[in-house]
Amino acid sequence: MYRSALAPIFVKPAIEKCEAAFAQSTKRLLTEFLKDPSRDVIPHLALPIVMHNLGILYGREKDVTEWISWGPDVWTATGPERDGSVLHAYIDRVYEESMSIESDDVWHRIAHMEIEGRQVSAIEFRGIVSVMLAGGRDTMVKMIAGILLHLGNNPADKEMLISEPGLIDSAVQEFLRYLTPIPWMGRTTVPETGATNLPDDRYVNISFVSGNFDPEVFPDPTTINLRRERNAHVAFGFGPHTCIGNHLAEFEVRVFLQVLLAMNFNWSISADTAIMRYPDELSSVPLVIEKLFITV
């Protein structure tokens, strides 16, 4: 019921209206970053691009500086504890604002949204907005950083995309497959609401990264092939629980690639870059890009 109510925010026509603003913002931020490219890409380029895109889509550009101040992972904004207190304080504040002041931004729409004939509660508002601010944050930061990492290490792929712009769509899907921004997701096999005597082994992990690197589906899966066809990846999950922001994510990656390639500068990856990789047969694949430094 929540998904269908929120769907109009994330459908393709709504996102496509933001194309010019996304491109303008991305170009401005990339240009500013290149004035001092010695800085870490994660907090100084990737995160600002993602937050400005959300500010444009949600009609809350005035909040972008605050969102950026929380860091790449909003849940750890106040320190090592995963409590999200900074995020919740912000949400409670904008809920009060949305209930008392008329606005055409997304928060106002959600605060006054009806679910099954009733207006959403403050608790529901907190849950919805938490997902909308945290869900597409570190995942998209990883996508932007991962693209810069790959193209910096493989300039021939960059030149190929510049000379063959028709490959950008397939490149978007291949980067999503290879980087798999959410590698896995936990699920419970037993409904927990009102249940007692819950088994300890009720939790399972759905491994999206395993699906995206299945050699029976993707030949040579640990290689980024920007010409890969029929790329049936599961970076957004699958079925009724497919990520509601999938169109937004694809659009953000496409716009970033287009702006990056149009600026046509050369860069390499600095030795100060820090990457946590998967174990065993996926040891060449980045799990977390902790720091990314480039040399222009």
Mean pLDDT of all residues in 241-248: 92
> Is pLDDT of 198 > 90?
no
How would residue 76 be classed by pLDDT, with cut points 50, 70 and 90?
low
Q: pLDDT over 70 for what percent of the chain?
A: 95
Lowest mean pLDDT of 68-72, 221-225, 279-283, name the range: 68-72
Q: How far apart are CA 45 and CA 32, in angstroms?
A: 9
The CATH number given to whatever domain includes residue 51 is 1.10.630.10
> Is pLDDT of 194 > 60?
yes
Query: What are the two backbone dihedrals, phi and then psi, of residue 187, each rounded to the nearest 5 degrees?
Result: -140, 155
Q: pLDDT over 90 for what percent of the chain?
A: 78
Q: Which residues contact 264 (CB under 8 A, 6 or more apart)?
A: 162
Assigned domain for 129 exists: no
Query: What are the two backbone dihedrals, phi and then psi, of residue 186, each rounded to the nearest 5 degrees?
Result: -80, 145
Assigned domain for 49 exists: yes
> Is pLDDT of 75 > 80?
no
- What pLDDT does 192 receive? 64
Lowest mean pLDDT of 67-71, 151-155, 216-220, 224-228, name the range: 67-71
Assigned domain for 45 exists: yes
The SS3 call for residue 203 is strand
How would residue 83 be classed by pLDDT, with cut points 50, 70 and 90?
low
Domain count, the chain: 1
Assigned domain for 79 exists: no
Closest by Cα among 248, 175, 172, 259 to 18? 248
Closest by Cα among 62, 33, 67 to 51? 67
> Is pLDDT of 4 > 90?
no
- What pLDDT does 240 receive? 81
Assigned domain for 83 exists: no
Q: Could you list the residue range(s) of the whole structural domain that residue 22 is in?
A: 2-72+137-181+246-295
Helix axes 138-153, 246-263, angle to 10 degrees: 30
- What pLDDT does 190 receive? 75
Q: How far apart are CA 148 and CA 117, in angstroms?
A: 46
Assigned domain for 166 exists: yes
- How many Cβ atoms sit within 10 Å of the Cβ of residue 193? 4
Per DSSP, 285 falls in state S
Token pair for residue 281? 């047969």
Question: Which pTM value belongs to this model?
Answer: 0.92
Assigned domain for 228 exists: no
Mean pLDDT of all residues in 1-30: 94
Q: How far apart are CA 149 and CA 296, in angstroms?
A: 13
Provide DSSP, 61-73.
GGGHHHHHHT-SS
Assigned domain for 80 exists: no
How would residue 200 be classed by pLDDT, with cut points 50, 70 and 90?
confident
> Is pLDDT of 230 > 90?
no
| Cβ-contact 226, 220 below 8 angstroms | no
Going 84 to 236 to 215 to 224, the CA torsion angle's sign is negative
